[in-house]
Amino acid sequence: METKQKNYALPIAMMCALFFMISFVTGLANPLGVIVKNQFGVTNFMSTLGNAANFIAYAFMGIPSGLLLARIGYKKTALSAIIVGLIGVAIQFLSGQAGSFGIYLAGAFISGFSMCMLNTVVNPMLNTLGGGGKKGNQLIQIGGSINSIGATIVPVFVGYLMGDVASASIKDANPALFIAMGIFALAFFVLFFMEIPEPNIVGKAEGEIKNEHSPLSFRHFILGAIAIFIYVGIEVGIPNIANLFMTSDSGQGGLNINATIAGTVVGTYWFLMLLGRLTGASFGAKVSPKAMLGAVASLAMVLVMLAIFSPITTTVQMPVFRSDISFGLAEVPISVMFLILAGICTSVMWGSIFNLAVEGLGKYTAAGSGFFMVMVCGGGILPMIQGFVADKTSYISSYWVVFIALAYILFYAFVGSKNVNKDIPVE
């Protein structure tokens, strides 16, 4: 057993590094959304299009990524994804030079292809290295903790680069884009020379064999895929709309809070996700994914309700994570604080849902992971819906969208996650 753990240490570390890359590049869409809203004078709905383009790419690339993973394996799929990601971020950099909203959206869309491919690799790989079940969930939570580090850094860093929202442009985010491109280049070099186990790769002849069933033959997988669609929308929508709420002026129903301060508040959401994932990793081998998911979904619903019904005029001094890697205080409405605290709850949802949805899939796991990635497009669609509701009503009222979504997550934890198709052969 010691030899197995020693041999798998490097692949596990590489998968965690890829988790960091996913969150760093994906997280750029949040602060960039604030920039383009002011630079191009667009609505809340339009400002979410960069984020939407990033996530909707998953709908196009999810299934091909699963097929690619089954055919060429983890390593080659990851290397291909890194090249695509480098191109996507480079295009976003060029959009700043050209001052073009359209080029920015194209770059975000291409980056989304890369993030989808990487997600298709890292989740089943970590679950496999952990042996599935509670250990697999624990390893995914550890990877998710690394993911949260990147997500914490991005809004704080770009918020610092922006300074005054009114005069900010995409060019101001260039240092973050350079870092992203550098991470991609380094990861490609390291991964190219690394040996990674390929437990689910199939040969061409075997890949042409038609299976009688598919991941869609399992009810708990279908409902789990819907849960992922909804979950990613919740995870992204809470901080994205909160950022717009804080940085918009009072004439737009916003709080007119400085972008640097707002960035630290949003960064704190992701920092809480980091703490939650570290906690989830600690207890992942002792608590079932079903119990973990049910508990955090319930708590998140309570926090969102408190945010909706708390008066905006009631403010608190909230501890925040600052760009100099220290903690300070920011004065925000108590409703914003409740929304940020929900990061503790969303932190462990991904790993728990993924673990529950692929449990018992056997040989269909790789294809299932690809289909799962299709549903990650919810991270673009649900925030768009929330942004539309915010335009028509108010920022706070838009969180009813999040509350309803959380209710489904709670349903999946206790009802929808049960495998009722155990009669299907999976060997």
The count of C-alpha atoms lying within 13 angstroms of the C-alpha of 94, restricted to the half-sphere facing its C-beta, is 12
The amino acid sitting at 115 is M
* Average pLDDT, consecutive stretches of 10 residues, N- to C-terminus, the chain (427 residues): 52 79 80 76 76 82 80 86 91 84 86 85 74 67 77 75 66 82 84 73 50 80 94 93 87 81 88 83 76 94 96 91 74 94 90 85 75 83 92 93 97 90 72
Tokens 């020693």 identify what position? 6
> What is the pLDDT, as a whole number, of residue 261?
87
Given a contact cutoff of 8 angstroms between Cβ atoms, the answer to whether 54 and 110 are in contact is: no
CA 197, CA 48: separation in Å to the nearest integer? 38
Q: Return the H-helix or E-strand segment holding 318.
A: strand 315-321
Burial 55-89 (b: 16+ CB within 10 A, else e): bbbbbebbbbbbbbbbbebbbbbbbbbbebbbbbb
- As a whole number of Å, the CA-based R_g of the chain is 20
User: In angstroms, what CA-CA distances link 182 with 108, 176, 177, 324?
Assistant: 17, 10, 9, 21
Closest among 19, 319, 40 to 187, alpha carbons compared: 19
Contacts of 14 (CB under 8 A, 6+ apart): 190, 191, 194, 196
Q: What is the pTM of this model?
A: 0.75
DSSP 153-178: HHHHHHHHHH-SGGG--GGGGHHHHH
Residue (of 168, 178, 201) closest to 76 by Cα position: 201
What pLDDT sits at residue 211?
63
Give the pLDDT score at 201.
Answer: 60
> What is 234-280 written as a DSSP string?
HHHHHHHHHHHHHHS-GGGT-----HHHHHHHHHHHHHHHHHHHHHH
Q: Give the span between the Cα atoms of 127 and 141, in whole angstroms.
A: 10
Its CATH class, for the domain covering 2-194+213-416, is: mainly alpha
* Range list of H helices, 42-132: 44-47, 49-98, 101-129
Q: Say what the pLDDT of residue 423 is.
A: 72
- Nearest Cα residue to 69 out of 118, 4, 128: 118
Name 333's Cβ contacts closer than 8 Å, sequence gap at least 6. 255, 310, 311, 312, 313, 314, 315, 316
State residue 230's pLDDT score: 96
**Whole-number pLDDT of residue 224:** 93
